[in-house]
Amino acid sequence: MIKVKGGYEKVDFWALSFGLINHLRELNDLLPAGTDICIHCGVEGQHSSTGFHPRGMAVDLHFEKSGLIVQPEAMLLLLIKKWKGGIGIYTHWNNPGFHLDIGPIRTWWKRSDSEYNLTLTEFVKEKGLNEYYEKIVMPNEEGYL
C-alpha cells in the first residue's frame, strides 16, 4: 500500500508525474506482503529548484511493515535491481529512507546533514552488507549503475 506520512493532505499527488506514480505502483507490487511505501514529500518541502522534486519526478519515502520502519539496508537490493531512476539513501532521517526519482539511474548515500554524496560502495561496506555487495552490479567506484 502507498501511504503518506502525516496524512494524504501533505502530498500533492496531482503534481506528481504519471511516470513516477507508475514506477511507485510497480515497486509496490514487488514488495513483501504487508510492506507499505510511506511518502514524506513529493513537490513539497525545501528542494533544489533545478532538481526532480519541483518537476513532480521525485519522492522522499520510507518503508514500513506492520507499522514498524523497515531499515533502508533491508530494501536496498530490491531497489537497485528494480527501480528505474535515481536512488538516494538517507539513514540520518527520523524515519530512515530513500529519495527515489525517475531521472538517470544513479545512487548516492547521505550519512548525515553534513556528509553528502558518498558512494554506494561506502554504504555497503560501512553497513556490513558485503554479502550483498557482489550481487549489486557496479560498473565504477562512484556507485553509479
Asked if residue 140 belongs to a domain, the reply is no
Asked if residue 109 belongs to a domain, the reply is yes
- Please tell me the predicted confidence (pLDDT) of residue 102: 95
- Please tell me the predicted confidence (pLDDT) of residue 25: 93
> Closest Cα to residue 61, out of 34, 29, 88, 32?
88
- Please tell me the predicted confidence (pLDDT) of residue 21: 94
Range of the domain at 12: 2-133
- Please tell me the predicted confidence (pLDDT) of residue 14: 83
Count how many domains the chain has.
1
The two beta strands, 2-4 and 35-41, are parallel
Burial (0-12, 13-18, 19+ Cβ within 10 Å), 9: exposed
CA gap 85, 81 in Å, rounded: 11
Each residue's pLDDT tens digit in the chain (145 positions)? 787 766 555 678 888 999 999 999 999 999 988 899 999 888 888 888 888 999 999 999 999 998 888 888 788 878 888 898 988 888 888 888 899 999 988 877 776 666 656 666 677 777 666 665 555 444 444 443 3
Asked if residue 143 belongs to a domain, the reply is no
Say which CATH number the domain at 101 has: 3.30.1380
Asked if residue 138 belongs to a domain, the reply is no
Give pTM, 2 decimals. 0.79
- Please tell me the predicted confidence (pLDDT) of residue 132: 56
